[in-house]
Amino acid sequence: MYLQLLPQPLGQGQDHHNHSLTSGAISAIKSTSSSHTAPLSTRAPDKLNRCTSPSADSNGQCATDKFATGLVQNKEWAAKYPELFPSLAFGQQPEILWIGCSDSRCPETAILGLKPGDVFVHRNIANIIHYSDLNAACVIEYAVSHLKVKHIVLCGHTACGGVSAALGNKKLGILDAWLMPLRRLRQQHLGLLQGLEHQEAIVKLSELNILEGVARLKENSVVLNAIEERGLQVHGLIYDVASGLLRELEGGESHEVIKARLTAFKTQD
């Protein structure tokens, strides 16, 4: 059973168009009367870009400090969308729920060439769909039932560290429990995977994991109802980190087969 997240009530003057929108208000960083620190927006960029690493130069500059660089570049990035951000303060209307890997090389909005507000996102190690994952279940129900997304995308990628780890037998602590579905898939397709080079095996197990995850998503009652009632689409994609290209996977169980399995056993009234 999945948790139900309720949208916030409509405020005064808010029209029906925003009824299903969640609150996305952007908070401004302001100084308080008790603080002597200048607001972030008025601090000199050179102070933001200082670091204390051994590689810093005499002026405290550190070319490899991505966090400091990101803070400086944030103002330039925000300035590219002068009309977008004020509108996002009133809510969100994403059409896509993206479930992907936590890997830093797979930024969904950038990959799709979209903007903030276009994609509702959930990511985890190796983009695994666990039946018992309460976090993912909440995200899925909220996106499908309240945001009314039109597409669910489950996306894996090549050169995935989680998939590579699942192909081995090294003890990984808490990750062992998380990767168990992948290791079950590895065992089910052992003959196929053993005949492949390691990188090819990573891609193949990634594809199997995506197709398995798509089937599990379609077994979710909220997703199943949305497929039948309003044509929600569920996609399995794999992202090639070496080319930046997405590929949609074919195959897997059809909606009809999954529905038949779910309704095969009926209890008496």
Known binding residues? 101, 103, 157, 160
Please confirm, yes or no, whether 103 is among the known catalytic residues.
Answer: yes
Bridge pairing between strands 151-157 and 233-240: parallel
CA 76, CA 22: separation in Å to the nearest integer?
A: 27
- In the annotated binding site for Zn(2+), the residues are 101, 103, 157, 160
Question: Which listed residue (51, 62, 155, 160) is catalytic?
Answer: 160
Question: Which listed residue (105, 130, 151, 235) is catalytic?
Answer: 105
Please confirm, yes or no, whether 146 is among the known catalytic residues.
Answer: no
Please confirm, yes or no, whether 51 is among the known catalytic residues.
Answer: no
Q: Cβ(239)–Cβ(155) under 8 Å?
A: yes
Q: Cβ(246)–Cβ(238) under 8 Å?
A: yes
Cβ contacts of 32 within 8 Å, gap of 6 or more: none
Question: Which listed residue (51, 62, 65, 101) is catalytic?
Answer: 101
Token pair, residue 123, equals 């990511």
Question: Which listed residue (51, 103, 106, 155) is catalytic?
Answer: 103
Angstrom CA distances, 246 to 107, 128, 243, 249, stand at 12, 18, 9, 10
The angle at the Cα of 216, spanning 212 to 143, to the nearest 5 degrees, equals 125
Please confirm, yes or no, whether 43 is among the known catalytic residues.
Answer: no
Question: Which listed residue (122, 157, 186, 216) is catalytic?
Answer: 157
Give the catalytic positions in this structure: 101, 103, 105, 157, 160
